[in-house]
Amino acid sequence: MKILIIGSGGREHALALACTKSQNVDQIFCIPGNAGTECIAKNINIDISEFDKIRKFVQENEVETVIVGPEQPLVDGIVDYLNQFNIKVFGPNQKASQLEGSKIFTKNLCKKYNIPTANFGIFKNIRESKKFIENCKFPIVIKADGLASGKGVYICKEKKEAEIACEEIFNGKFGKAENILIEEFLDGEEMSFFIISDGETFYHFGTAQDHKRVYEGDKGKNTGGMGAYSPSRLENKKLNKKIIEKIINPTLKGLNDLNTRFIGFLYAGLMIINDEPFLIEYNVRMGDPECQTIIPKLKTDFIELINACVNKKLKSIELEWHKDKSLCIVLCSIGYPDVYKKNIEIKNLDKINLENNEYIFHAGTKKINNKIVSNGGRVLNIVIRSENFKKNRDKAINLINKINWDNGFFRKDIGYKVIN
Ligand code: AMP
Ligand code: GLY
């Protein structure tokens, strides 16, 4: 069977590796992939926004199942488009993808179905927003409505900051803004909670904790994620039950009432306050780097699982996991998340011997003349699985020290809440 994975990050390399371990996979394609996926799959150079070219590729190459990694094509409707041609796709349709594509869609759903979330208001212009801010208790959180690659969120400690945030959003920093979301600041501990769904049945698909800030001690700017570990230290049966009853079930009912279903991975970004879950945001895909920590723990055949989802047979599958712990450190280009250099060679990657349960997933890398060079802000993901988080982190740092690349930096404190 032939599989196509759309995307080019560490998440997609981890998904591709999982496919190689499946019994029934003969060939994996990645659009566009990276230097890591090139070693286990065939990279195809098509822009992921060109749905017609992707469709032609799928038809000509008799791809059986398409797995979509990133949010943009999902929000843009790639699933609806490919489904029209009877192509099976693992990922949610455009209607369901609004859960990530529009923060206001999700907030309104929370309100209608009583899903616990931060109190909020939606405002249509700078004047209304500023008037509301006049009487707010700080800090408050201000968000642009649409996709903003994790950048459209401002945590404001005082009035002036809040006013600047409103001006930047309405002046189009994250695209045309018709609305703005202002919400209460939730003070707790974050947790990423995942499910996998075929539209009828869903299973819990693990938890993780990522470190979004660029510097140690969770300081500095937000990034796509500097590292992660799984499971979250907060996870327990009682909390899982509350999350499913108070957040996941009413969300799926809400989609059902809109005459749609969710197929794919759903990622709930939660704030846990005194053992109670609050929804911060939804993502309609696996997290990156959370995926790189969760997928290596999966024992069940990955493609059997994905195919069960696209054929509405998830009920027939038993999910099995390795019970140990995993941790990922992201090696980034100096300067990320701002300006950084590209095309810097990463030497002797091929000389690094990985033991069982050690992985190097590529993100922003490409191959030029048989050399691997950096091609993005987040470049490599070093993942270790064992019975102990500290051992994982020590081993990951050890591996990073063997990589000969003089343009990299990483956080040495990933997992500090579960290690110290
Ligand atoms: P989002 O893109 O909505 O996940 O927001 C990015 C980050 O901002 C989250 O991971 C949180 O750390 C933080 N954040 C967002 N909304 C809130 C909130 N209401 N209270 C506290 N922190 C928040
Ligand atoms: N790690 C955060 C995300 O994937 O959105």
Beta carbons of 242 and 225 less than 8 angstroms apart: no
Residue 67 has pLDDT above 70, yes or no: yes
Say whether both 303 and 337 belong to one domain: no
150 lines ligand 1 (CB under 6 A): yes
Residue closest by Cα to atom 3 of ligand 2: 287
Question: pLDDT at residue 153 above 90?
Answer: no
Same domain, 12 and 31: yes
Indicate if 278 and 198 belong to the same structural domain: yes
pLDDT tens for 261-291 read 999 999 999 999 999 999 999 999 999 999 9
Together in a domain, 179 and 289: no
User: Would 108 be classed as within a structural domain?
Assistant: no
| Residue where a domain stops, chosen among 316, 345, 364 | 316
Query: Is 146 part of a structural domain of the chain?
Result: yes
Domain coverage including residue 48:
2-91
Statement: residue 59 has pLDDT above 90: yes
Which of 218, 267, 270 is the best mutation target for the ligand 2 pocket, counting ligand atoms within 8 Å of the beta carbon and taking the most?
267
The mean of the pLDDT values for the chain is 95
Q: Are residues 205 and 298 in the same domain?
A: yes
Tokens of 48: 């992921």
The total number of structural domains in the chain stands at 4
The residue from 292, 316, 340 where one domain ends is: 316
Pocket test residue of 107, 155, 214 for ligand 1, highest count of atoms within 8 A of CB: 155
Mean pLDDT to the nearest integer, 321-332: 97
- Same domain membership, residue 298 and residue 196: yes
Does the structure show a pLDDT above 90 at 420? no
Quote the pLDDT of residue 233: 96
- Average pLDDT value for residue range 42-53: 98
Predicted local confidence at residue 134, as pLDDT? 86
Q: Residue 362 corresponds to which amino acid?
A: H
The ligand that comes nearest to the alpha carbon of residue 211 is 2
- Mean pLDDT of all residues in 216-232: 95
**Closest approach atom of ligand 2 to CA 283:** 5
Read off the pLDDT band of 175 (50, 70, 90). confident
Q: Rounded to the nearest 5 degrees, what angle is found at the Cα of 53, between the Cα atoms of 49 and 56?
A: 140
pTM of the entire predicted model: 0.95
pLDDT at residue number 351: 87
Residue owning the nearest CA to atom 4 of ligand 2: 287
Q: pLDDT band at residue 178, thresholds of 50, 70 and 90?
A: confident
Q: Which of 260, 286, 316 is the last residue of a domain?
A: 316
115, part of any domain: no
Residue 84 Cα, ligand 1 centroid: separation in angstroms? 36
pLDDT per residue over 377-400, tens digit each?
999 999 999 999 999 999 999 999
Residues 129 and 216 grouped into a single domain: no
Q: Residue 329 is part of a domain; what is its CATH number?
A: 3.90.600.10
Q: Which atom of ligand 2 lies closest to the CA of 290?
A: 1
Measured by CA distance, the residue closest to atom 5 of ligand 2 is 287
pLDDT value of position 261: 96
CATH code for position 14: 3.40.50.20
Let me know whether 332 and 309 are in one domain.
no
DSSP string of 20-55?
HTSTT--EEEEEE--TTGGGTSEE----TT-HHHHH
In a domain, 295, yes or no: yes
| Residue 308 and residue 236 share a domain | yes
Q: How many other C-beta atoms are found inside a 10 Å radius of the C-beta of residue 347?
A: 12
Token pair recorded at residue 89 = 């796709």
CA-CA distance, 250 to 115, in Å (whole number)? 7
pLDDT per residue over 87-141, tens digit each? 999 999 999 999 999 999 999 999 999 999 999 999 999 888 888 898 888 999 9
- Judged on CB neighbours under 10 Å (0-12, 13-18, 19+), 378 is buried
Q: Is 107 part of a structural domain of the chain?
A: no
Nearest CA to ligand 1 atom 9: 280
CATH of the domain at 176: 3.30.1490.20
pLDDT at 192 over 90: yes
The pLDDT, as a whole number, for residue 150 is 66
Q: What is the percentage of the chain residues whose pLDDT exceeds 70?
A: 100
Query: How many whole angstroms separate alpha carbon 72 and alpha carbon 50?
Result: 12
| Domain annotation covers residue 109 | no
Backbone angles phi, psi at 126, to 5 degrees: -60, -40
Write out pLDDT tens, residues 201-216: 999 999 999 999 999 9
Nearest CA to ligand 1 atom 2: 150
- Specify whether the CB–CB gap between 53 and 40 falls below 8 A: no
179 and 195, same domain (yes or no):
no
The answer to whether residue 364 is domain-embedded is yes
What's the rounded mean pLDDT across residues 401-413? 95
- For residue 202 the two structure tokens come to 């869903």
312 shares a domain with 254: yes
> Does residue 104 line the site of ligand 1, with CB under 6 A?
no
In a domain, 106, yes or no: no
The closest-lying atom of ligand 2 relative to the alpha carbon of residue 289 is: 1
Q: Are residues 292 and 209 in the same domain?
A: yes
